Every structure is written in structure tokens, then in C-alpha cells.
Structure 1
């Protein structure tokens, strides 16, 4: 096939969150943009990740609330789940959002969209089977994919990943999940609440990268939901069935199920890009970049999952904004200085930004203060009959915010205030001076900030000062 020759200002590899954001911004600024995508427009988040998983979780939460409404004085009667209808709704949600990321929309913006696999031909040429693009700059936004762990006989056994699980037509009788991280926990709880039996197998601790106290709140709810948790169990091999043979605290054990989901992490999608031809350095974590997201080839940048700085859709979007500022407006940027939040969308949600308590103590030693505010002290939580969880604020002894963890109902919705505070370098006093609407769960943020000043405000020294001042009042 003869290749069409194109000269462009910008070639982008990958039409996920980051690549689409760059393409839209650059095209609207008048640049000539070519966008390559070998899979679905919208990438993993729209088609296999954030969108379908949250749609599934919403159905699971509705079933759970209906089944447990008696505590609020409401009887919903028998609760039944139509799994086919749930999955149909999941795909309907994808269809509703898809036009925003569609080929037609971006072609309407002036982007040339090539639905083929891209690869580097040399340091500034990107090609596919039908086109050959010489670009002033190239952005690698190829994302990541589910990683299959090196477990003997896994390849010989049919298994699910986040890319295939949403194609199920019937509810698994017993879903085995390899991996107790965010994906495993979110999907495990959802499938259990929809009526299936679920076992989560994890070599370490469930949600082991999060604050242990916060993870314990989630673990308690998972157990109450009937999810079987097997932390500290290392998978030795996979047998037909499927059966996962594990080495656990009590020795070797066989765990049988009807379906197997592999959720043990993700790996950057760099296969087939021919990065060597472009002089782009990479390793197992992804494409190597400096703080400006520039690779070892000064014409080539990498953003999002493939850049090895975290696998979050919102981070890919942030990288896209930084690239536009750097490459198109010559503004200085620092991708390593971003304040990046994370949320596990289980019930209760676990939301964090900055350092955990353990990380803060390891990095700052004794110069750490930890304040905890339970949702049990929040009037809205009491009114709703859901007091699970807490907020945890970690600061230096001078009041610099190092990190915040919230675990509770819709905790992720209350985290952005802390992200803004840390990003803008605001002081805790700014939050204490804020009026929070009553009654809201978000009041926990103001109470956490106010708690930092409690010891000083009501100290013996302050009481003596008030005693003196009242004489002049």
C-alpha cells in the first residue's frame, strides 16, 4: 500500500484522555494535527475503565441500598437484579458519552484522525499502514493495558481483564479476582452486590498501598457484603476450572471458581511503537521523560499512563494541559510538581492526596502531626445512618499540609477542596475561615483544619490571655 505523505505541526499517538485533550487544544489553536488510534476512540477510560466500571458500581449500589433500606424505615420488598439489563445500561452510558470523544467530533475540529496502529520511522516521522507523517512535534499518549502476571499456566486458562469483563452476558456464579488493589476491590464489591459469589486473592494486603486504617474500613464493608478476602496468598499456578493454587498462611491451597479476573496492575502500551527508531528511551515503567514531559528525543513528548508517573485519567488530562503550555506557549512546567489525587470507588470510597501517614513519617520523621475526624461526629452522616469512616490530615508541626485521606460515603467528592488547598499553597487558616453549608459531609474538611488549632486555642496560655483581656472589655 502506498503511504500518503503528510506534514503536520503535531502527531499524536493515542486517542485516550490525554491524546484527545492535546488534539482538541492544538487544533482549536490553528495547528495541523494528525491523531492515530488503533483501537476505540476515548481509550481505556471510556470503553473499559472509568466509565463502565462506575456505571456498574451505580447499579450495584442501587441493589445494595434497596436490600438494606430497612434501617431507614423503608421496606423495598424482594430485590432482584437483571444482570443483562445492568450490562445493557453500562453500554448505554458508554454510548451517551462516546460522541464527546468521537472521530466525527475531532474531524469537525480539524484533526486528521487515522484509525490505525502508529509507529516511529525515524526521529520525527510517525507512520501507519496508510500514512506517513513528518511532524514538528510528536506526543506519545498510548496509555496502558492490563498486565498479566507471570503465573504458570495462566495463559492456558481463559481469564477476564477490565477490557473483557464488561462483555459478560450473565452474572458469574463465583468470580475469582487476582489482585486486591483498586480495580479488584471495586469490581469485586460490585459483582458481589449484584448477586455473585466473589473471592479476592492478594499476595499482600487488600488496598495495601493506602492508609491501613482507611483500608480497614473498606475491608470491614467488603466482609459485611460477603466478599471472601484472601490477603497474604501468593498465586503459584492456575488450573482448569478455573482454579487458583495459592501459597497462603496455612500452606498450599486450591481456590475454585467459575470465572477468573486478572487485576494485578497495568503496563505501559509501548509495544510496536518502534521507539528505538525515534531515539526515545524507555523502561518497564514507560517512556522516560523529564519534568517537562520531554523524552530523550527533544521533538517527542509523552503524557498520561505511558509517561510512568501514575495511571489516572485526570493525570493524563493534566499532562495534556502542561504539554500545551510548554510546547505551544513556551511556558515553564513541572510535571513532577503536580498534586495528584486518587480515589478507589468502592463503598465506602477511599480518597487520598499527598502522603499517607506512613510515608510522611518516613520522609519527615518526628516533624509530623496527624489529626483524625470521624464521620460519626458529622451530623449529615448521622442523619443518613452512615457513619462509616473518617478524615485524616497529615501536616508538619508548622502546619504545612503533607497529605489527606478520606474514607466514607462519596469521600472522593469531598477531596477536591484539599487538592486545591495543596495546589495553591493555602494555609489551614483559610479553611477554618470558610463557611461550610450545614449539614453536609463536607464539613469534615473544615473540622479537620480547625482541629489543628484546637490545642493552641484552648491552651492554658490562651486562657490566661483571655482572663487578662476580659478586664478591658
Structure 2
């Protein structure tokens, strides 16, 4: 067995692991990167990238049916489902070189393609290699969670890891799970010509603001996606091409294909964390704000750290641990400035607490301001008037933002900066933006915060009156 000594050993070549490896090796650290699966992790191969590529194809198909209001005669698109999946594969292949083993070896990283397990507090075994490291990072990500529903093992089902290889168009796709993955895939497949039924045991978009979620749900239902809420599944049966899903109230949903999209579970299997003295639960490795585990030499980032499960969080965590491991600087992770988005049409985005959460935390001290997309000129020109922005303000600063509407995933970045930099609403209201842009909904929301203070304030009117009377 080859013995390797290094500064940093990283388990997992997804977003977090790759970011740490690239940063650390280019700043002079010795780095070993271990990956038993595909370089790039879930995001590149089975998550963010392929799903957005599929959504893009679905948007093109949908555009062909909705040109009437613009004077363009609608037509029924001829969808080659296999060719759509070719597009998805090309997108993955276009990005893959950035995450490839060859690139990282070119940077000076020792890449080992095998599964890892701990062999002590500061040692890892991967294949025929035993790596001893000063610091070890667990960046193993997560995988689809398949709940133990009676009958689930008796029928074929898809997850986000397998659906992008499906080259034949499903006649009727049943989606169990009304979260971001389930709803994105539901709308995309509906636009590509599939009948789609979403079954959610609680509320669809359950972690988002109910008011903004309702905007998206209304659109999906209008496009023909059947969304069943408060519908726990009690049994799955049937055969390939003829799936049956039974709801608790006795209803039976029949379809040709089944997609399980009820959530994700952290991938810690086989690591033998006990040998390293690393505490963990089913939610992930137990870490502090500094992302260190019970073994101070071992960190966890991204999904493995048991918090928000987003690619950009893994990248953010990478910066936190690099500052500590390479420079010995104290650094702690926070979630207050972390946004997320669901790429349905219209999109749904959130940062910080929702209105209900903010009021629960801060009571009447919170002021909620809002602005409708229908009052934005660019939204009018594009025919994208469905949606709104809500901003939760505490002591003159935004603490949370909910957006439903066109390009919400882009617009939330404006507020991510504002919250991270602790900007006041006055800074946002004073920002000059090009006209006409959708981003003006953010500025107008900030303006709505000041409107009552200016236009409904008797003192302001008296001051203005005096100035007008005496100003030379």
C-alpha cells in the first residue's frame, strides 16, 4: 500500500471539494483529492447543470405555443426527446473539463479515483493508498432520498441521478415531492409534451413564502401540471409503464413513469467516521460554525455539513475552511446572507426569513414592503407581469426577501449583496439602474419603504410648505 503524506486531504470532488483543492494547491499547500464517483459531483452530472439544460429546452418548446399576444402564431412543437437529452449531455461535456481530473492534476493536486474510508484521526484509505494529512475535509455531498413507501421496490422509478438518461418521453410522469427538484422537473416535462402529476404530502414549495409560492403554483397548474397537496402516499404498485400511486385518502394516480423527488440524504456511508472520532447524525457531520467536526483536524463542507443543501453553499464553505487551514485565520459560516432559487417559470427566490418567519422572530418591529411585477415597464414589454417582490425590513435594513417572477434567481443577487454588506434601504433606493430593467422592482420596493415616511408625513409637508414660501 502506498503511503502518502500531505497537508490537506479532501474526500469528494464536488463543488466544495474542487474549490478547496484548487484554492489550496495554488497557494502552496500539498493536496490529495479523493473521488470514487464522477468528477464534478452531483451538481455537474445529475443536478444543477443537467436540470437547467433540460429547463432551457422546455422553455424553447413552450415559447412556440405562447406567441399569440405578441402577434406570433402559436404552433405545436415537435419534440425529439432523445435530442433534448443530447443537448443536456453536451452542456455537461462542455463544463466537465473545468472539473476534470486532468485539470486538477495539472494544478498539482494528487487525484485518487477510489472510495475513501478513515483509518484513524488523521488517516484515510482509498484503494491501495493510505493518506496521512494535517487536515481532512469531508465534501461527499448527498444523494436522492427514497422513502420506504410500501411497494416502492417493486416498480421502476427515476431520481435526479437517472432521469437525465431517460431518452424516451414519458407519457405520464408522476412526481412524488413538491419541492424545487420535483416542481422544476414537472414543468419541464409538461412543456416537453408529457402529462404530469405532482403528489406532495404537505405543501408544495413548503420552505418558501406561501404568497410567492402561490404565484408559481398558479402558473404550473395553468400549463396543465396537476399538483396534489396534502396528499401523503401510502402505497406504490403496478409495473413498468403502468405505475399506480395510492394516496392516503384512497385516490389512485396512474402514470407511465415515476420520479422520486422527496429530498436528499447526506452521503457518509462507508467513511467509517467512528475511526476518526467524528460525530455525525443522519443529517450530516456535526460541525460548529467554523465547520470543524468533533475531530479538530476534520472539517465538513456543503451537504456533508448538515445545513443548507445548495451548490453555492458548498463554494462558500470552501472559502471558510481555506482561510482557517491555509492562513490560520478564524472564520465562521453564516446562513443569513445565503439565497436560493427554484428555476420554474416564473422563478422563485428567497434570502433570509420569509414574512411569517420574520414576524415570528421580530414581531411588529418588522416592516414588509412589496412591489408587483405588473408595475414594472420591462415586465410589461416582455409579457412577464406575473409576480411580486416582498422585502422584510428591520431597523432600516433588509433582512429577508421573497421574489416570485421572471429572473427571480438573478434579482435575488442584488439583495444577497445588500444583506451581506448590511446596506440600508436608503442605499438601495438611491441606486441608479438602467431603464427599463426587471431589477427596478427591487429599487421600487425600497422606494415603497420610504413612501409613507415622505408622502404621508404632515411634518414633511409643513417643511416643504415653509421652504416654498421663503426660498428665494
> With structure 2 as the length reference, what TM-score do the two structures score?
0.98
1:15 corresponds to which residue?
13
Query: How far has the Cα of 1:472 moved from its partner?
Result: 2.6
For the residue of structure 2 that corresponds to 1:163, the secondary structure is coil
Q: Deviations over 1:224-246 (max 9, x none)?
A: 11001111110001112321111
Distance (Å, rounded) in 2 between the aligned partners of 1:114 and 1:69: 52
The whole-number CA distance in structure 1 between the counterparts of 2:76 and 2:445 is 41
SS at match of 1:237: strand
> For 1:365, what is the secondary structure of its paired residue?
helix
Q: Secondary structure at the match of 2:303?
A: helix
Kindly indicate whether the alpha-carbon contact (under 8 Å) linking 2:336 and 2:352 is maintained by their aligned counterparts in 1. no
* 1:246 and 2:247 matched: yes
CA separation in 1, counterparts of 2:134 and 2:422? Answer: 36
User: 2:419 — aligned with what?
Assistant: 422
Query: Residues 208-247 of structure 1: matches in 2 within 5 Å?
Result: 208-240=206-238, 241-247=242-248
Number of equivalent positions: 467
Asked whether the equivalents of residues 336 and 351 of structure 2 are also in contact (C-alpha less than 8 Å), the reply is no
**Corresponding residue for residue 27 of structure 1:** 25
2:109 alignment counterpart: 111
Match of 1:89 in 2: 87
Distance 2:198 2:335 in 1: 35
Choose from 128, 136, 139 the match for 2:137. 139
1:310-321 aligned at under 5 Å gives the runs 310-321=308-319
The answer for the alignment partner of 1:281 in structure 2 is: 279
Q: Secondary structure at the match of 1:155?
A: helix
Q: Distance in 1 between matches of 2:2 and 2:245?
A: 50
SS of the residue corresponding to residue 336 of structure 1 reads: coil
Give 3-state SS (helix, strand or coil) of 1:297's partner. Answer: coil
What's the CA shift string for 1:168-188, capped at 9, x where partnerless?
011100000000000000000
Counterpart position of 2:43? 45
Partner of 1:388: 386
Residue 76 of structure 1: CA displacement?
5.0
Distance apart, 1:400 and its partner CA: 2.6
Q: Choose 325-334 or 132-141, whichever is displaced more.
A: 325-334
- SS of match in other structure, 1:105: helix
Q: In 2, Cα distance between the equivalents of 1:197 and 1:282?
A: 41
DSSP 3-state at the match of 2:153 = coil
| 2:449 maps to which of 442, 449, 452 | 452
SS of aligned partner of 1:387: coil
- Partners of 1:350 and 1:165 in 2: CA distance: 23
User: Which residue of 238, 261, 264 corresponds with 1:263?
Assistant: 261
Aligned-pair CA distance for 1:368: 1.5
Question: Structure 2 matches for 1:49-198, cutoff 5 A?
Answer: 49-75=47-73, 77-198=75-196
Give ranges in structure 2 of 5+ residues lacking alignment. none
Equivalent-residue separation in structure 1 for 2:353 and 2:37 (angstroms): 36
Q: For 1:163-219, what per-residue CA distance to the aligned partner results, in whole angstroms no more than 9, with x for missing partners?
A: 000000111000000000000000000000000000000011111111111111111
Q: SS of 2:340's equivalent?
A: strand
Shift of 1:363: 0.8
Change (3 A) 1:243 1:65: same
Q: Which aligned segments of 4 or more residues in structure 1 are displaced greater than 6 angstroms?
A: none
Q: Residues 340-375 of structure 1, C-alpha deviation per residue, up to 9 Å, x if partnerless? A: 100000000001100000101111112121111000
Give 1:324's aligned residue: 322
C-alpha deviation, 1:337, in angstroms = 5.1
Cα RMSD after superposing both structures: 0.9
Mean Cα deviation higher: 71-80 or 125-134:
71-80
2:428 aligns with: 431
Q: CA deviation at 1:300?
A: 0.3
**Stretch moving more, 52-61 or 400-409:** 400-409
SS of the equivalent of 2:9 reads: strand
Q: CA deviation at 1:455?
A: 0.5
Q: Which runs of 5+ in 1 are unaligned?
A: none
Cα separation, 2, equivalents of 1:155 and 1:26: 43
Q: Secondary structure at the match of 1:252?
A: coil
Measure the CA separation in 2 of the matches of 1:410 and 1:116: 40
Partners in 2 of 1:301 and 1:466 — Cα distance? 60
* Separation in 2, partners of 1:465, 1:312: 50
